[in-house]
């Protein structure tokens, strides 16, 4: 399969890393900036890393392991090529909605320690407060690795890795790639609709009603664009069962093993810290 005209131009770098010739406008990075260390890690390895960094956090609900995991992950920030401001902006929605996950623990966890307030099935105690804080921190600890690992990952590189390294069906991979490319268009459509409503003088009042009306319009755009894209891809043979070739090779290197070992070490240190402090609490115990 030949590469599309707007595909990123790759330059083979030293070692296992590669550099891209495109500019990363979203993070304000110049096209000629040196690639970060994590850019040389295969996207499939990043997926395994995200799983490795997430699964052990479900083994225990405690504050210590979550705080240690967040701290160690932030120490790896220079390896990602992202700025602290970029990570904070992307993490902000998770931080805002994380306490919602802890509300159920705060209100309905089994009471233990001093009870501060009780009404019917709702009881707030020392144990429920600790669990609520732990769950909220755990949501942040689960979302942070995704931001750090995939903040600079190009969808085309991810598709190449899924097809060549993970050996997923090409039809499935190309569908994921097409969907990922459409997300940017949806953001542009939303911004354009907002500006158009402001120009007509109807964008300054009724924020809730405006949101739902714009969301409905965006849904219509998504259905129409998705239908046209599916027909175009079928017409160009993307849905055939013929084995495909790939213009950009994707391989595993020694850097992938180092990254995976580092991720496992972060989780091991986090769980060990909770056990050492005595706050480790196995889920369901």
Encode the chain (285 residues) as per-residue pLDDT tens digits: 444 444 444 444 334 344 443 444 444 444 335 678 888 899 999 999 988 888 777 777 778 888 898 899 999 999 988 888 889 898 888 888 888 877 877 776 666 766 777 776 777 776 778 778 888 888 888 889 889 988 888 888 888 888 888 888 888 888 888 887 887 788 888 888 888 888 887 766 777 888 888 889 888 888 888 888 888 888 877 767 777 778 888 888 899 999 999 999 998 898 888 888 887 777 655
**How far is the C-alpha of 12 from the C-alpha of 250, rounded, in Å?**
12
Q: Are residues 124 and 29 in the same domain?
A: yes
**How far is the C-alpha of 273 from the C-alpha of 285, rounded, in Å?**
19
**How far is the C-alpha of 65 from the C-alpha of 59, rounded, in Å?**
10
Q: Are residues 138 and 111 in the same domain?
A: yes
C-alpha 74 chain-centroid distance: 15
**How far is the C-alpha of 219 from the C-alpha of 233, rounded, in Å?**
21
Q: Please state the pTM of the whole predicted model.
A: 0.70
- Has residue 259 been placed in a domain? yes
Q: Which residues contact 26 (CB under 8 A, 6 or more apart)?
A: none
Number of domains observed in the structure of the chain: 2
**How far is the C-alpha of 277 from the C-alpha of 232, rounded, in Å?**
58
**How far is the C-alpha of 173 from the C-alpha of 232, rounded, in Å?**
16
Q: Are residues 143 and 184 in the same domain?
A: no
Host domain of residue 147: 24-158+251-277
CB-based burial label for 259 (10 Å; 0-12, 13-18, 19+): buried
Q: Which residues contact 257 (CB under 8 A, 6 or more apart)?
A: none
């Amino acid at each position: 399969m030949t590469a599309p005209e707007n595909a990123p131009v790759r330059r083979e770098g030293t070692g296992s890393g590669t550099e891209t010739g495109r500019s990363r406008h979203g993070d304000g990075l110049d096209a000629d900036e040196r690639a970060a260390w994590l850019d040389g890690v295969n996207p499939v390895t990043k997926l395994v890393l995200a799983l490795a960094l997430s699964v052990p956090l479900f083994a225990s609900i405690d504050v210590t392991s979550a705080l240690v995991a967040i701290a160690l992950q932030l120490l790896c920030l220079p390896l990602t090529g992202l700025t602290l401001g970029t990570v904070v902006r992307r993490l902000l929605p998770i931080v805002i909605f994380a306490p919602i996950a802890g509300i159920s623990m705060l209100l309905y966890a089994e009471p233990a320690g001093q009870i501060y307030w009780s009404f019917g099935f709702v009881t707030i105690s020392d144990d429920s407060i600790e669990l609520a804080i732990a769950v909220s921190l755990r949501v942040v600890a689960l979302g942070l690795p995704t931001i750090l690992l995939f903040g600079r990952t190009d969808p085309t590189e991810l598709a190449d890795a899924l097809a060549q390294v993970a050996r997923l069906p090409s039809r499935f991979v190309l569908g994921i790639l097409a969907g990922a490319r459409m997300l940017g268009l949806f953001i542009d459509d939303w911004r354009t609709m907002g500006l158009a409503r402001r120009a007509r003088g109807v964008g300054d009042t009724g924020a809730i009603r405006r949101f739902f009306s714009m969301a409905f319009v965006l849904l219509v755009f998504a259905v129409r664009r998705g239908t046209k894209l599916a027909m175009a891809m079928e017409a160009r043979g993307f849905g055939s069962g013929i084995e495909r070739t790939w213009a950009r090779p994707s391989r595993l290197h020694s850097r992938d093993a180092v990254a995976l070992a580092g991720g496992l070490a972060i989780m091991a240190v986090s769980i060990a810290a909770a056990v050492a402090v005595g706050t480790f609490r196995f889920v369901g115990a």
